[in-house]
Amino acid sequence: MIMKALPIIIAMSIGFTSGPANALERTETHLNCLGLYALLRMAAPNFADFATERMGYARQSYFRDLPVPSPVPMPLTGDEIEAETRARMRTRGRQLTDAETDEDIMRETDAFLAEIRTCDARYGLTPTPIPWRD
């Protein structure tokens, strides 16, 4: 009985006060941020170390906010998280590669950078500089 309560006690001691629905929303956001940072790492190789470091913040936050017990299956192993990160990276990357006109490309790259900066703010990080130059 004590062992089953331990994760709940630990979660409450680090500030887990909201319900599982809010926790699931936060963990989904962390997974999205992982995908965005992974896409940045791939799209701008000179930012690879920078993006990898920020992925660490998203990963730590994911595990911190993971509801215990989770009402829905969430990726828990390293391999599951990596697969989910790749899937989200491909989904967001598709929006960038499907842009056809210069206007669409500009809109999508601006939106991509804005999404990354939203993740930066979530983790209290300085905003990601513009990784590409015309």
Start-end of H helices in 44-101:
48-65, 78-97
Judged against a pLDDT cut of 70, whether residue 113 lies above it is answered with yes
Is the model's pLDDT at 35 over the cut of 80?
yes
Residue 17 tokens, joined: 């006060």
Contact present, 58 and 123 (Cβ < 8 Å): yes
The residue among 62, 61, 66 whose CA lies nearest residue 20 is 66
Angle at 32 between CA 26 and CA 37, to 5 degrees: 125
pLDDT band at 127 (very low <50, low <70, confident <90, very high): very high
